[in-house]
Amino acid sequence: MTPKAKTTEIAAEHARLVRELEAHEYRYYVLDDPVVSDADFDRLMRDLRALEEKHPELVTPGSPTQRVGGEVRPSITKIRREHRMFSLDNAYSAEDMLEFHRRLTDGLRDGDTPSFCIEPKLDGASIEVIYEGGHLVQATTRGDGAEGEEITPNVRTIRGVPSRIPHDGKLTLRGEVLIFRKDLVTLNVEREAAGLEVFANPRNAAAGAVRMMDPREVAKRPLRAIFYQAVEGPKAKPTHSETLEWLATLGLPTHLRHKVTPWEGVMDAIAAIDAARADYPFETDGAVVKVDSFRHQDILGATSKFPKWAIAYKFPAERAITTVRSITVQVGRTGALTPVANMDPVELGGTTVSRASLHNADQIRELDVRVGDRVSIQKAGEIIPQVLAVEARSRPAGTEPFEMPKECPVCGTRVVSRVREEGKPELEATVRCPNRQCPAQVQGRILYFASRPAMAIDHLGESLVDQLVTKGLVKDVADLYDLTAEHVAGLERMGKKSATNVIASIQASRERTLDRLVGGLGIPQIGQVAGRQVAQVAGTLATLLAWSDEQVREHVSGIHGFGAKMVECVALFVRDDAERAVLQKLLDRDVSRPQPREVVATEGPLLGKSFCVTGVLTRKREDVHALLRGAGATIHDSVKKDTSYLVAGEKTGKTKLDQAKKYGARVVTEEEMDKLAAGETLPE
Ligand code: AMP
Ligand code: ZN
């Protein structure tokens, strides 16, 4: 084969992988109907990454491998948009809707009877995305409507937003970035583990993310985008609803939950969305009613703020009134005390609710919730309902303000309080039980250790863990591995069969790799992602335990994205006698397997040096990379500002050499590279 034919073949293979990955992303993130397993998907992604590593010239900003996000940006630029992004007028009642209809028929005048398209109002952050020549070229926030902030690198990380579409002309889209409810639950579990504040609702989580400066952080949020409008492009389509359907055929995420009807059907369509919205994967706070025909839209035009052809019908927030019967205090895995109101059961948003969170001591004081109070509770995106307000007039006589207990309600240890500090609004007031042996904490830690993202121990539910801890059978996570079926079979709701299953799951979890174990320990600030990074530098549990305090700091502080606080948390944890004892017990029970290496070595003669390898060498490119990584170097796909060496094989391109010159990278031969990797120095 000629080199040219080979190049074409490689490019074709690259295009095939990209297409396949994009198709799977589409099925997963847009249709919510994947056809391959996560493992198969990961394998394709690895293949693509390997191919791009060998042929860096094939990498484009739109490649699925680039979804992890690029460089941090120093600032965000403002962009003036061609078409203003409007807000929507609101309606709250059938009367408001009649008024909207009246204005509309006046505006149309020619006696045309419009059709309407009714769709869910998505509750996230609005964006505009522009495709040109089939490529995603720009994304902006709404900003003030006329001008938005450029957030293209952030939007590129959103899975499900194709980087290429089969449409050549310019296409300007409006959409909403949001987080699905189920994804928010997982995200919050991770944030809690990392010691970060959890998001109260998906909107906050999504809105904060789109404007972040570091696209790699954005990539870590489970964002989705749904497009609900095309502003420029589909002139061939006469209506909005047909345009939505056309967008879907291009592989663009739209919700396709719209309904087209004459005016008579509008209120029913709104009611249908209200009835169905609890089953939507995303939050919906209303229905948007739009005049369907573009011709009618053009005639109607816009005010300075809203289009006159659309209106948002807002559903009333889901609220209910009930009576507080008691206020109990829960103790979490980290020892935090949270007050919970136990109330007369009441219908709220399709479920029966009898408990509401009071968040923390500050909030309970502000609201002054007391036992016997009638309270209004609300569920507006929040996962647990919140107490909104007290109906003070109905308060029975002789009640006392609620006080947080001075002792842990579970173990009786005196609590430690932290008050809210002036100027640090992000630090909530907290009350904690400082006793690590507190059964509530032990139980929380075990459940966390056993959870899906961590050690994934099946059949180990809350009631079983509760019994194991209360009976003193398990005092720490390592004790799990000493349990036998006999221990478990005697417990409540435990037959012989289920006992055997639990024990089998526990024993099977010894085979998990180190990352899951580290992520499951509940080290403050260290969630699953950070846990994996720690596991990669340590490799094995034995190594982690063998490290001196200094070594821990040295290795961990080299991890990408680890700040001083995270390093400190890991060091404190590994140094702590009680924690060490548990880690040693885990090691003695042969729990966890070595972490496969993915990252560069943390020592070696080339530590801190970076290489770009190009041209034809005597060995396979992968082997060369492995050699360099093994010696501590990092590999760049192209010559960059901070590239130290360019290894130039035969037929090295001129561009690469020019770049090396421009950035001051030293050009070396394969032989010289071998010397460097062996720790020798090259003559000047
Ligand atoms: P508001 O921010 O309350 O003025 O509502 C206007 C915003 O609702 C728009 O800027 C959109 O971002 C958003 N929105 C959500 N879903 C839709 C939809 N289906 N059609 C139009 N706008 C929508
Ligand atoms: Zn306690």
Nearest to 376 by CA among 364, 361, 387, 367: 387
Q: Separation of 169 CA from ligand 1 center, angstroms?
A: 25
User: What pLDDT does 319 receive?
Assistant: 79
Q: Separation of 178 CA from ligand 1 center, angstroms?
A: 12
Tell me the best of 228, 247, 255, 289 to mutate to test the pocket of ligand 1, counting ligand atoms within 8 Å of each CB and taking the most: 228
User: What pLDDT does 383 receive?
Assistant: 58
Q: Separation of 86 CA from ligand 1 center, angstroms?
A: 9
Tell me how far CA of residue 146 lies from CA of 123, 142, 143, 304, in angstroms. Answer: 21, 8, 7, 11
Tell me how far CA of residue 675 lies from CA of 89, 399, 616, 665, in angstroms. Answer: 70, 81, 18, 17
- The rounded distance, in Å, linking the Cα atoms of 69 and 221 is 11
The share of the chain scoring above pLDDT 90, in percent, equals 40
Yes or no: say if 127 and 176 are a contact pair by the CB < 8 Å rule: yes
- The rounded distance, in Å, linking the Cα atoms of 136 and 170 is 10
- The rounded distance, in Å, linking the Cα atoms of 28 and 222 is 13
| Chain centroid, CA 216 distance in Å | 11
Q: Which atom of ligand 1 is nearest to the CA of 176?
A: 12
Yes or no: say if 477 and 582 are a contact pair by the CB < 8 Å rule: yes
pLDDT at 599 > cutoff 60: no
Q: Which atom of ligand 1 is nearest to the CA of 255?
A: 19
Question: Residue with the nearest Cα to atom 18 of ligand 1?
Answer: 121
What residues does ligand 1 touch, defined as CB less than 6 Å away?
87-88, 119, 121-122, 126, 142, 176, 228-229, 288, 312
Give the full edge-to-edge strand order of the sheet including 115-122: 90-91, 310-314, 284-291, 115-122, 259-262
> pLDDT tens digit string along 78-91?
899 888 888 898 88
Mean pLDDT of 291-309: 90
528, two tokens: 């699953």
Please name which ligand lies nearest the alpha carbon of 118: 1
Task: Name the residues annotated as catalytic.
Answer: 121
- Within 8 A by CB and 6+ apart from 16, the residues are none
Tell me the best of 118, 122, 285 to mutate to test the pocket of ligand 1, counting ligand atoms within 8 Å of each CB and taking the most: 122
The DSSP string of 36-59 is: S-HHHHHHHHHHHHHHHHH-GGG-
User: What pLDDT does 428 receive?
Assistant: 60
| Weakest mean pLDDT among 71-75, 146-150, 422-426, 641-645 | 422-426
Nearest to 51 by CA among 7, 103, 106, 113: 7
Under the banding of pLDDT at 50, 70 and 90, the label for residue 425 is very low
Between residues 101 and 197, the one the model is more confident about: 101
Q: Separation of 472 CA from ligand 2 center, angstroms?
A: 15
- The rounded distance, in Å, linking the Cα atoms of 184 and 189 is 8
- DSSP character for 632? T
Q: Separation of 220 CA from ligand 2 center, angstroms?
A: 34
Please name which ligand lies nearest the alpha carbon of 434: 2
The DSSP string of 507-526 is: HHGGGSBHHHHHHHS--TT-
**The pTM is what?**
0.55
pLDDT at 385 > cutoff 50: yes
Under the banding of pLDDT at 50, 70 and 90, the label for residue 521 is very high
Nearest to 532 by CA among 544, 519, 545: 519
Yes or no: say if 635 and 613 are a contact pair by the CB < 8 Å rule: yes
| Weakest mean pLDDT among 139-153, 554-568, 653-667 | 554-568
User: What pLDDT does 426 receive?
Assistant: 46
pLDDT at 621 > cutoff 80: no
458, two tokens: 């099946």
Tell me how far CA of residue 349 lies from CA of 228, 291, 340, 411, 618, in angstroms. Answer: 25, 29, 19, 36, 67
| Weakest mean pLDDT among 480-484, 543-547, 554-558 | 554-558
| Weakest mean pLDDT among 114-118, 397-401, 459-463 | 397-401
Q: Which atom of ligand 1 is nearest to the CA of 125?
A: 12
Q: Which atom of ligand 1 is nearest to the CA of 142?
A: 10
Question: Residue with the nearest Cα to atom 11 of ligand 1?
Answer: 126
The count of other CB atoms within 10 Å of the CB of residue 169 is: 12
Between residues 558 and 515, the one the model is more confident about: 515
66, two tokens: 């680039």
Between residues 651 and 110, the one the model is more confident about: 651
Q: Separation of 198 CA from ligand 2 center, angstroms?
A: 23
Tell me how far CA of residue 235 lies from CA of 308, 472, 528, in angstroms. Answer: 20, 71, 47
> pLDDT tens digit string along 172-182?
999 999 999 88
Question: Residue with the nearest Cα to atom 2 of ligand 1?
Answer: 87
Please name which ligand lies nearest the alpha carbon of 84: 1
pLDDT at 603 > cutoff 90: no
Please name which ligand lies nearest the alpha carbon of 313: 1
Domains in the chain: ranges and CATH: 3-68 (1.10.287.610), 90-314 (3.30.470.30), 319-432 (2.40.50.140), 439-511 (1.10.150.20), 514-588 (1.10.150.20), 610-677 (3.40.50.10190)
**Cα-trace Rg, the chain:** 29
Nearest to 286 by CA among 91, 477, 471: 91
- The rounded distance, in Å, linking the Cα atoms of 413 and 440 is 12
- The rounded distance, in Å, linking the Cα atoms of 223 and 44 is 22
Tell me how far CA of residue 83 lies from CA of 148, 174, 207, 232, 517, in angstroms. Answer: 11, 11, 22, 9, 51
- The rounded distance, in Å, linking the Cα atoms of 673 and 665 is 13
Coil, strand or helix at 257: coil
Average pLDDT, the chain: 86
DSSP bridge partners of 192: none
